[in-house]
Amino acid sequence: MRKTVRDVYCRNIVGVSEDVRVSLALAIMRERKISSICVLREERAVGIFTERDVVRCVSEKGVHFETLPISEVMSANVLATSADTCLFEAFQVMAGNNIRHLVVLGDDGRAIGMVTQSDMIMHLGYEYYVKVKNVSQIMSRKVHTVSRSCTVEDAIREMARLKVSLLVVIEDRRPVGVFTERDVPRLLGVMSEMNPLLVGEVMSSPVITMHEDEAVFHMVEVLLEKQVRRVVVVDDQGCVVGVATQTDLVRGMESKYIDSLKSVVKVQSTELDRAIRQLSEKTMYLDSILRTSISIGIAATDAELNIVYFNPAAEAILNVPQAEVLGRNLRELHLGKADRFDACLPKLRLGLDHLFSFEHDAGEGGTKLIQARASGIKGLQGSLGLVLMLEDVTSRRKAEETIRHLAYYDPLTDLPNRALFHERLERDLMRARRSGKLLALMVMDVDRFKEINDTLGHAAGDSVLRAVADRLRDLLRKSDTMARVGGDEFVFILPEVNDMNDARGIAAKVLTALAPAFSLGDAAVPVSFSLGIALFPQDGEDVESLLRLADQAMYRAKEQGRSTRSSSVCLSAG
User: Tens digit of pLDDT for each residue in 532-545?
Assistant: 999 999 999 999 99
> What contacts 151, CB < 8 A, 6 or more positions away?
196, 197, 198, 199
Contact 243, 169 (CB under 8 A): no
Do 413 and 562 belong to one domain? yes
If we measure between CA atoms, which residue out of 324, 147, 140 comes closest to residue 243?
A: 140
Write out pLDDT tens, residues 317-326: 888 888 888 9
> Of 122, 140, 166, which one is at a domain's C-terminal end?
122
Integer Cα distance of 138 and 213 in angstroms: 11
- pLDDT attached to residue 264: 42
- Provide the pLDDT for residue 573: 54
d(CA 165, CA 98): 11
**Integer Cα distance of 427 and 536 in angstroms:** 13
Examine residue 305 and state whether it is found in any structural domain, yes or no: yes
Look at residue 370 in the predicted model and tell me its pLDDT.
84
| CATH number of the domain bearing residue 528 | 3.30.70.270
Residues 513 and 553 in one domain: yes
Distance of alpha carbon 51 from alpha carbon 283, whole angstroms: 50
290/255 Cα distance (integer angstroms): 15
Same domain, 83 and 176: no
Burial class (CB in 10 A: 0-12, 13-18, 19+), 323: exposed
Is the same domain home to 43 and 74? Answer: yes
Is 400 among the domain residues?
A: no
- Confirm whether 399 is domain-assigned: no
* Domain endpoint, select from 122, 144, 176: 122
**Do 421 and 515 reside in the same domain of the chain?**
yes
For 501-545, give the DSSP string. HHHHHHHHHHHHHH-SPEEETTEEE---EEEEEEEETTT-SSHHH
- Does residue 261 belong to any structural domain of this protein? no
Give, as one character, the DSSP assignment of residue 437.
-
Residues 442 and 565 both lie in one domain: yes
Domain annotation covers residue 83: yes
What pLDDT is recorded for position 394?
80
Q: What are phi and psi of 386, to 5 degrees?
A: -130, 150
Which residues constitute the domain of residue 138? Answer: 128-253
- Residue 402 falls within a domain, yes or no? no
CA distance 428 to 407: 20
Cβ burial 278-308 (10 Å sphere, 16+ → b, else e): ebeeeeeebeebbeebebbbbbbbbbebebe
Residue 404 lies in a domain: no
Residue 428 and residue 541 in one domain: yes
CATH of the domain at 136: 3.10.580.10
Q: Which residues of the chain have pLDDT under 70?
A: 1-2, 121-133, 189-195, 250-294, 336-340, 362-365, 380-381, 563-566, 572-574
487, 531: one domain: yes
Residue 341 forms part of a structural domain: yes
Final residue belonging to a domain, choices 76, 92, 122: 122
Residues 426 and 315 in one domain: no
Q: Are residues 118 and 11 in the same domain?
A: yes
Q: Are both 418 and 567 inside the same structural domain? A: yes
Q: Is 376 exposed, middle or buried (0-12, 13-18, 19+ CB in 10 A)?
A: buried
Q: How many domains are there within the chain? A: 4
pLDDT score, position 388: 84
Cis peptide bond upstream of 69, omega within 30? no
pLDDT confidence of residue 11: 84
Q: Which residues of 328-338 are buried (b: 16+ CB within 10 A; e: fewer)?
A: eebeebebeee
pLDDT at residue 193 in the model: 58
Determine if the pTM surpasses 0.75.
Answer: no
pLDDT given at position 316? 81
Check whether residue 295 and residue 380 sit in a common domain. Answer: yes
The CB density around residue 341, as the number of other CB atoms within 10 Å, is 21
